[in-house]
A and B are shown apart, each in its own frame.
Chain A
């Protein structure tokens, strides 16, 4: 990996890393904020919707 031995290569790697991770973060944030409220509500209720009435829950 001789190409990695130069300062330029390291600088490029750092910039690529920063841009890549910032982009993905922003993408996830955007995606989350764009979900419909009803959709989010249904997903968040999934754990409450999976069991029969249990003996001690009354």
Chain B
């Protein structure tokens, strides 16, 4: 299976792979470069798509009307498509190209199964296409970088573990080189950890498990098994480690393989690379909670996340220095070699991002940076500067080898390099300025103790120029990429009629003489037998045994990741004092739940947080800070990570229903300077009442108490939703004195339209905490009472809004 060549490829005489002492016959084999060519093509195609969508999004902020009233390309629905395309399609295909090329060579073995390689390639592209076809329709879980709904989640697990993982590990087993080079370690960590992260962050109950949904959209809908603070912890355990194990470890494997190749000399310190590997694997997995600083999560968890993030700085810089010092003695080659230029800037961005990351994880810095565009600048420095440059450097190095001809144009590659470098700098710097401006304006308090910028929209308007500069940066980067694509296309056009497929020879591993490790004799005298045993053990002879065994090595890596995760997550989940409950917080009504699902589906969380931090400026602007007990029924949590618009945690009751209707229709009329797009379809699309009982049933399955809708009473949920919707529309008509009319003057009955469900949900946000306790269920002594001491009664402050 692994020695076959494709029909279009011609084989050539064997190349020796150096004399090796052997007891058995030499085996002949060739490498599958066709699969690498496929992944390179996909990297470039999806790169262009991902960057292009990014530019559309960048333009939609200063131009909220740019979506032309088309719901599928509103900011909230398109942003997840951009992040998924860049992370999983662009960077994903790049790491697969790197892994398939280097693993075969480092193992002196063809990939175990060409069929699995191709299933992996086509399966992954199908997943990307599914993402592009579902996210614009609002089919999303709303968990960042894990938005894809349950059928696609299952496909990802099958393609990742079943096709890619099996093929990779079987290749390690049939390899002909005994030592596993450090790049392979990074690949192993990637494959194992991403599988663990993906599975545990995507445990859900789909609506379809509760009955037959009436609409196609409801077929895809699911609720995560976690809620509120726990969902937030799982999500950012996943989210942070997706960065670590999808965008860092595989790219480090790429660096440790392709940089020595391009420089023509081994890595500066192989010892340092081993330390780099184990430190990253052990430390990274703990750092997730730094995404939740000052939120309603336990203090110890935030501190843990911060400390481990700062510790990460050391191994990260160790890796960066190791990469840059590899070029000692060959720096004179860098100016003339676009590959080395891309690698040097890529590794430098790795260093800058891994300094900035720990800095942003410091709680006091995070108080300023969180929810701002600083984070956006940071992630782009990482994704475009580190991942993008490493991917392009690798592709330029691979192109002549894969297409077996000279690179079409060194000058074009250099132009790509300079455009991309200028682009990322312009992008990052403008976002740093925007982020700092936002952060300082939000937190600004004048001498009288009042907000210096009381209207949120003032802070929005202040950074619009930065949004323009950002667009220029994005265009430069995309322009460079397009030139790169043209260059690679022309190189491909000049390929030979038939690719040459060199045949290599090496003995099978089993035929290479190998003396198994023996425990050394202890030379201690006059000690107990147990002392000698300890002395022998401490020589670490046993480590040399398992370092050659991929399965045991993989188990060690898995243990490192899983034990750390368990030590962090288990106490966070089971120690009850982490999430004090509040008696007055009740589950959403059926209509509110349906409205919440619309909120999720429209991607409102991409611009609005629902988490007020205990900072003076925030409590003055939004009201009392959020408590963990307020979101215990939130499957999924909607705390958000960014404030393009204001926080909505205490939106309930602040404004009338009529205000919300008009605001969804014409945001700029209600709030001058707002950059929220209009949502006219909310007044046209009907509420899916039919699926409401299934939604309630799925929530019940997750433990949300709906005693009134148990068993046969479930269908009552839909009736109750209809009644509440009619009430909201009736109230709207009472306030406005007339029925709702659309832009053409046509009267529309809103009582079954999505806008009413969404308003029902918004009016519920943050109000339970101030509700009167049930007469029949008095507040017991203990934790809830302690909770209520913190609560300042009364409606939250009025706030400026977009």
Q: Once the chains are docked, how many angstroms separate the CA of A47 from the CA of B259?
A: 9
A54 to chain B, nearest CB (A): 5
Q: Once the chains are docked, how many angstroms separate the CA of A50 from the CA of B15?
A: 10
Q: Would you call A43 and B575 a contact (CB within 8 A)?
A: no
Instruction: Identify the closest chain A residue to B496 (Cβ).
Output: A55
Q: Would you call B183 and A32 a contact (CB within 8 A)?
A: no
- Can you list 13 contacts pairing A with B, beta carbon distance less than 8 Å? A4-B571, A5-B575, A10-B575, A21-B282, A34-B540, A40-B271, A43-B182, A43-B270, A48-B260, A48-B265, A49-B18, A52-B15, A55-B404
Chain A 36-56 residues near chain B, CB threshold 8 A: 40-52, 54-56
Contact for A55 among B264, B270, B400, CB less than 8 A = B400
Q: Once the chains are docked, how many angstroms separate the CA of A4 from the CA of B145?
A: 32
A28-B275, A32-B275, A55-B404 known; A47+B257 contact, CB < 8 A: yes
Q: Would you call A45 and B108 a contact (CB within 8 A)?
A: no
Q: Once the chains are docked, how many angstroms separate the CA of A33 from the CA of B539?
A: 11
Q: Once the chains are docked, how many angstroms separate the CA of A27 from the CA of B539?
A: 11
Give the interface SS of chain B, mostly helix, strand, loop or mixed.
helix
A24-B282, A47-B183 known; A29+B571 contact, CB < 8 A: no
A25 partner residues in chain B, CB cutoff 8 A:
278-279, 282
Q: Let me know if B24 is at the binding interface, CB within 8 A.
A: no
Instruction: Identify the closest chain B residue to A46 (Cβ).
Output: B181
Q: Once the chains are docked, how many angstroms separate the CA of A1 from the CA of B574?
A: 7
A13 to chain B, nearest CB (A): 7
Q: Which of A20, A31, A33, A50 has the most CB of B within 10 A?
A: A50
Number of A-B contacts (CB under 8 A): 95
Instruction: Identify the closest chain A residue to B560 (Cβ).
Output: A24
A28-B278, A33-B271, A50-B105 known; A13+B571 contact, CB < 8 A: yes
Q: Once the chains are docked, how many angstroms separate the CA of A9 from the CA of B422?
A: 54
Q: Let me know if B106 is at the binding interface, CB within 8 A.
A: yes
Q: Would you call A31 and B570 a contact (CB within 8 A)?
A: no
Q: Would you call B264 and A48 a contact (CB within 8 A)?
A: yes
Q: Once the chains are docked, how many angstroms separate the CA of A54 from the CA of B31?
A: 14
B279 partner residues in chain A, CB cutoff 8 A:
25
A49 partner residues in chain B, CB cutoff 8 A:
17-18
Q: Would you call B266 and A45 a contact (CB within 8 A)?
A: yes
Q: Let me know if B738 is at the binding interface, CB within 8 A.
A: no
Apart from A31-B543, A42-B179, what are 17 other A-B pairs with CB-CB below 8 Å? A1-B570, A4-B571, A5-B576, A10-B575, A20-B563, A24-B278, A24-B560, A28-B278, A29-B275, A35-B271, A44-B267, A47-B181, A48-B260, A50-B17, A51-B401, A55-B405, A55-B406
Q: Once the chains are docked, how many angstroms separate the CA of A40 from the CA of B181?
A: 11
Q: Let me know if B567 is at the binding interface, CB within 8 A.
A: yes
Q: Once the chains are docked, how many angstroms separate the CA of A50 from the CA of B184?
A: 14
A5 partner residues in chain B, CB cutoff 8 A:
574-577
Contact for B106 among A21, A46, A56, CB less than 8 A = A46
Q: Let me know if B102 is at the binding interface, CB within 8 A.
A: yes
Instruction: Identify the closest chain B residue to A42 (Cβ).
Output: B179
Q: Would you call B261 and A47 a contact (CB within 8 A)?
A: yes
Contact for B571 among A10, A21, A54, A56, CB less than 8 A = A10
Q: Which residues of A contact B (CB under 8 A)?
A: 1, 4-5, 10, 13, 17, 20-21, 24-25, 27-35, 40-52, 54-56
Instruction: Identify the closest chain A residue to B503 (Cβ).
Output: A52
Q: Let me know if B502 is at the binding interface, CB within 8 A.
A: yes
A35 partner residues in chain B, CB cutoff 8 A:
271
B407 partner residues in chain A, CB cutoff 8 A:
56
Instruction: Identify the closest chain B residue to A27 (Cβ).
Output: B540
Q: Would you call A46 and B179 a contact (CB within 8 A)?
A: yes
Question: Chain B 245-269, CB within 8 Å of chain A: the 1/0 string?
Answer: 0000000000011101100111100
Q: Would you call A47 and B275 a contact (CB within 8 A)?
A: no
Q: How many residues of B contact A (CB 8 A)?
A: 49
Contact for B274 among A1, A17, A24, A28, CB less than 8 A = A28
Contact for B260 among A41, A42, A47, CB less than 8 A = A47
Q: Would you call B567 and A4 a contact (CB within 8 A)?
A: no
Q: Which 3 A-B pairs have the closest CB atoms?
A: A50-B105, A44-B270, A44-B266
A44-B270, A48-B260, A48-B261 known; A4+B570 contact, CB < 8 A: yes
A44 partner residues in chain B, CB cutoff 8 A:
260, 266-267, 270
A3 to chain B, nearest CB (A): 10
Q: Once the chains are docked, how many angstroms separate the CA of A54 from the CA of B570?
A: 53
B560 partner residues in chain A, CB cutoff 8 A:
24
A10 to chain B, nearest CB (A): 6
Q: Let me know if B177 is at the binding interface, CB within 8 A.
A: yes
Q: Once the chains are docked, how many angstroms separate the CA of A51 from the CA of B397?
A: 13
Q: Once the chains are docked, how many angstroms separate the CA of A35 from the CA of B273?
A: 13
Q: Once the chains are docked, how many angstroms separate the CA of A45 from the CA of B177?
A: 13
Chain B 387-404 residues near chain A, CB threshold 8 A: 400-401, 404
B177 to chain A, nearest CB (A): 7
B577 partner residues in chain A, CB cutoff 8 A:
5
A28 partner residues in chain B, CB cutoff 8 A:
274-275, 278
B183 partner residues in chain A, CB cutoff 8 A:
47
Q: Which of A10, A44, A48, A54 has the most CB of B within 10 A?
A: A44
A1 partner residues in chain B, CB cutoff 8 A:
570, 574
Instruction: Identify the closest chain A residue to B574 (Cβ).
Output: A1
Q: Would you call A56 and B270 a contact (CB within 8 A)?
A: no
Question: Chain B 267-297, CB within 8 Å of chain A: the 1/0 string?
Answer: 1001100110011001000000000000000
Q: Once the chains are docked, how many angstroms separate the CA of A42 from the CA of B540?
A: 20
A4-B570, A5-B576 known; A47+B102 contact, CB < 8 A: yes
Q: Once the chains are docked, how many angstroms separate the CA of A40 from the CA of B269?
A: 9
Q: Once the chains are docked, how many angstroms separate the CA of A33 from the CA of B271?
A: 7
Q: Would you call B106 and A50 a contact (CB within 8 A)?
A: yes
Instruction: Identify the closest chain A residue to B265 (Cβ).
Output: A48
A19 to chain B, nearest CB (A): 12
Question: Chain B 420-432, CB within 8 Å of chain A: the 1/0 string?
Answer: 0000000000000
A20 partner residues in chain B, CB cutoff 8 A:
563
Chain B 15-55 residues near chain A, CB threshold 8 A: 15, 17-18
Q: Would you call A32 and B257 a contact (CB within 8 A)?
A: no
Q: Once the chains are docked, how many angstroms separate the CA of A34 from the CA of B271?
A: 10
Instruction: Identify the closest chain A residue to B105 (Cβ).
Output: A50
Instruction: Identify the closest chain A residue to B271 (Cβ).
Output: A32
Q: Would you call B540 and A30 a contact (CB within 8 A)?
A: yes
Instruction: Identify the closest chain A residue to B272 (Cβ).
Output: A32
Q: Once the chains are docked, how many angstroms separate the CA of A33 from the CA of B543?
A: 13
Instruction: Identify the closest chain A residue to B543 (Cβ).
Output: A31
B278 partner residues in chain A, CB cutoff 8 A:
24-25, 28
A29 partner residues in chain B, CB cutoff 8 A:
275
Q: Once the chains are docked, how many angstroms separate the CA of A17 from the CA of B162?
A: 33
Instruction: Identify the closest chain B residue to A33 (Cβ).
Output: B271
Q: Once the chains are docked, how many angstroms separate the CA of A20 from the CA of B407?
A: 51
Q: Once the chains are docked, how many angstroms separate the CA of A29 from the CA of B434?
A: 42
Q: Once the chains are docked, how many angstroms separate the CA of A35 from the CA of B17?
A: 25
